[in-house]
Structure 1
């Protein structure tokens, strides 16, 4: 029997057997199990299973942390046992009614924006690479200057870096329709209408070179390139409208009438009401975010760096995806990424200290890989498997994150993308910021490591916690 097969069998048994399991899914790091009876779960048995880095209930699911790569193999073995699999989105619909209204709203934000992130990650990497190859110092190594770069090459790089943000409303509307039960292709077309070349370009209007079209003498109509909220709200209303129309239209006419009326009504609402109102609100949110990030003396970096992983533990961190997208779309840079990468690195530093200091072979085998996972940008194994379990290492990680975030804010670090941090995140700082980026991460890791080693962990603490 393979090792992962044995782990799968032990997990199934520990959560109450296959008769207690409704469905199983997985994400990048966690096995997500929906169960009939929470009381039937043997928490200690789950956590004692080999390769398990922690387990907890969140958003109506029992989530078992394995880490990247491992979770895919364990999930495959669980499926081989004959259990019912489901996708994350299918499970999300199952738990949609659980939790408070605020928790449900945060889950919705995550369901809408998380699928868009890979495209924005790629765009951020393209920005970083462009910044690298266009640096005078790099070009000088090849005996070139910026004047030697052809305009065709510049155009090619602009295609790579600008496309996702130009058509961002299309991506948002597509994903919103998908989450709220509409036809994703209708959402995609609605989003494309919001950035139609027939409309005045939003960035041209912002720069003063282009003027909005005024309807009825007082309604300004523009394109919504790089915008999020208008497409998000239009997507919610459009998906609900489409379902209402479909219920009332004869089946024989559904293919013709439903998309026609949905697009006609929604683009009218989007251009004349939703767009002007929510684009203004979006600008207020963006201005507020920038104002906070520009607080003097590194205060914003200190606060955000210290509290970010607390927000991750609560599970509401997806709400910040929209803010990061807006920063990139409007500023072309993301100072928020530079701060939160320190909070992530610091949790890795705290877990590393635990792994090196403990004499427990099992804890070493848990803490050291978990710290490396954090250095790759995924903190759940380190947080839930090690730092939160013993308490003080998590707090020391928060302190390290605050110190690193403070310095990142002071020196003005700004990433070219989002969603990747620590070691992979170096690719977002190739435009002359790489040494400062490495410095703030090393400081965050070093502070968290030193504090955890000196004050945050001992095997006596471990024994007290596990009594």
Structure 2
């Protein structure tokens, strides 16, 4: 029997057998089970299986961490055991019925914004690279000054850095229609209508241009870079489309459904939803800025300490909305540097456990988990090591607070979002790279030292086991 086949068999037995597994799928690092009876899972037995780096319940799923590459091979063996494997979308729908209203709402928010993040990551990298190339010291290496750069080249870089944010409402409306059961292309067109070039540009109005006045009192502008108006319009538009489709004759569905959906929703979006939720968006942004501008590094201290606590609740996708707003409004993201510190610190705590323990199995788990955290993914470190022994997790929180404090004091601001720690260096090429590295060193160093001195020992591990 191959090693992976043996692991798969032991895992299914520990979860309660094939009869207890409603469905299974996998993502980049984890097997995701929906089980019939949580009480039948032998959790300690699961976590002691070879190659398992941790296991936990989240979003209605029992998730077992194996890591990239390994998870695919284990999944192939699990499929051979007559377990009901389903697509990610099918399982997402099943899991979506579980959890309380807040958990379901945050999960839905994540479903909308996660598909958009890759293009925002790319945009942030373009901003970072432009910042690097435009530094006088870098240009001097090629015998150039900023005055030597042609306007055409600068326009080309603006295409790379501005397009995603100019058409952000189209991306948001497309994804929202997709999640809420509408036709995605209708959502995209609705979003494009919100940034139509015939409307006064939102940024131009902010600089003094006049909005269009309808009915003598409703100001109408384009919604370039806005998130909430497109999100709310997407939810209502998808529901409206489904309502209309049920009521029009099938022969007229192709003509009437998109026509009525777009006609009704563009009126609602421009004259009601847009003006109201644009104000709400501004209040959210100002609230975020108020926290981030707290004096004496308090913002970094609080966010750096609390961020990973929020991550383990599974509701951290809410921050995507805030980061998108910061980038759209100011072209930078001070939130990224602070949460980078909290992520790096968990990796530092896990690294201390890996280096201090004499357990071969724990070393084999902790070393790759710490590397995963340094690449921006903390779940293996948190659920596989730090939370299991409790103290390393809290030492990581303290390290995150220390690094976040340093990030606030130094005024670090990333050019993008969604990548942190080692990959995140690309967001700080605009003259901030040394400060960014210093923040990571502080976060990792504090968490490592505290975990080494006070947070972990093999004696404690044996007691926990």
Q: After TM superposition, is the score higher than 0.5?
A: yes
Q: Is the counterpart of residue 42 in structure 1 residue 42 in structure 2?
A: yes
The alpha carbon displacement at 1:2 in A equals 4.5
Cα distance in 1, alignment partners of residues 384 and 227 from structure 2: 35
Number of equivalenced pairs? 465
- Which whole-Å deviations, capped at 9, do the CAs of 1:347-395 have from their partners, x for residues lacking one? 0000000010011111111111111110000000000010000010000
Instruction: Map 1:80-95 to 2 at 5 A.
Output: 80-95=80-95
Q: Indicate the larger mover: 150-159 or 375-384.
A: 150-159
Structure 1, gaps ≥5 residues long: none
The alpha carbon displacement at 1:82 in A equals 4.7
Instruction: Map 1:64-463 to 2 at 5 A.
Output: 64-208=64-208, 210-463=209-462
Cα distance in 2, alignment partners of residues 418 and 73 from structure 1: 31
Q: Indicate the larger mover: 92-101 or 185-194.
A: 92-101
Give the SS at the match of 1:85: coil
- Which whole-Å deviations, capped at 9, do the CAs of 1:76-114 have from their partners, x for residues lacking one? 443354533334333222122322211111111111111
Give the SS at the match of 2:13: helix
Give the SS at the match of 1:265: helix
Could you tell me which residue of structure 1 aligns to residue 31 of structure 2? Answer: 31
The alpha carbon displacement at 1:154 in A equals 1.1
The alpha carbon displacement at 1:299 in A equals 0.3
Q: Indicate the larger mover: 81-90 or 402-411.
A: 81-90
- TM score, norm. by length of structure 1: 0.97
Distance 1:160 1:75, change over 3 A: farther
Distance 1:76 1:203, change over 3 A: farther
On the 8 A contact 1:89/1:111 being kept in 2, the answer is no
Cα distance in 2, alignment partners of residues 341 and 298 from structure 1: 15
Cα distance in 2, alignment partners of residues 436 and 35 from structure 1: 47
Cα distance in 1, alignment partners of residues 324 and 90 from structure 2: 26
- Which whole-Å deviations, capped at 9, do the CAs of 1:36-94 have from their partners, x for residues lacking one? 12222221221112221111111211111122333233334433545333343332221
Could you tell me which residue of structure 2 aligns to residue 54 of structure 1? Answer: 54
Cα distance in 2, alignment partners of residues 27 and 212 from structure 1: 46
The alpha carbon displacement at 1:19 in A equals 2.5
Cα distance in 2, alignment partners of residues 82 and 160 from structure 1: 48
Give the SS at the match of 2:387: helix
Q: Indicate the larger mover: 291-300 or 99-108.
A: 99-108
The alpha carbon displacement at 1:8 in A equals 2.7
On the 8 A contact 1:113/1:321 being kept in 2, the answer is yes
- Which whole-Å deviations, capped at 9, do the CAs of 1:163-186 have from their partners, x for residues lacking one? 111110011101111111111111
Cα distance in 1, alignment partners of residues 200 and 90 from structure 2: 39
Cα distance in 2, alignment partners of residues 301 and 316 from structure 1: 20
Cα distance in 1, alignment partners of residues 153 and 284 from structure 2: 35
Structure 2, gaps ≥5 residues long: none
On the 8 A contact 1:23/1:85 being kept in 2, the answer is yes
- Which whole-Å deviations, capped at 9, do the CAs of 1:254-313 have from their partners, x for residues lacking one? 111111111110011000000000001001110111111011100000000001000001
Distance 1:136 1:399, change over 3 A: same
Q: Indicate the larger mover: 324-333 or 61-70.
A: 61-70
Q: Is the counterpart of residue 13 in structure 1 residue 13 in structure 2?
A: yes
Distance 1:220 1:329, change over 3 A: same
- TM score, norm. by length of structure 2: 0.98
| CA RMSD, 1 decimal | 1.3
Cα distance in 2, alignment partners of residues 135 and 26 from structure 1: 44
Give the SS at the match of 1:23: strand
Q: Indicate the larger mover: 274-283 or 86-95.
A: 86-95
Give the SS at the match of 2:34: strand
Cα distance in 2, alignment partners of residues 72 and 219 from structure 1: 55
- Which whole-Å deviations, capped at 9, do the CAs of 1:122-165 have from their partners, x for residues lacking one? 11111111111111111101111111212222111111111111
Cα distance in 2, alignment partners of residues 258 and 394 from structure 1: 53
Give the SS at the match of 1:95: helix
The alpha carbon displacement at 1:31 in A equals 1.4
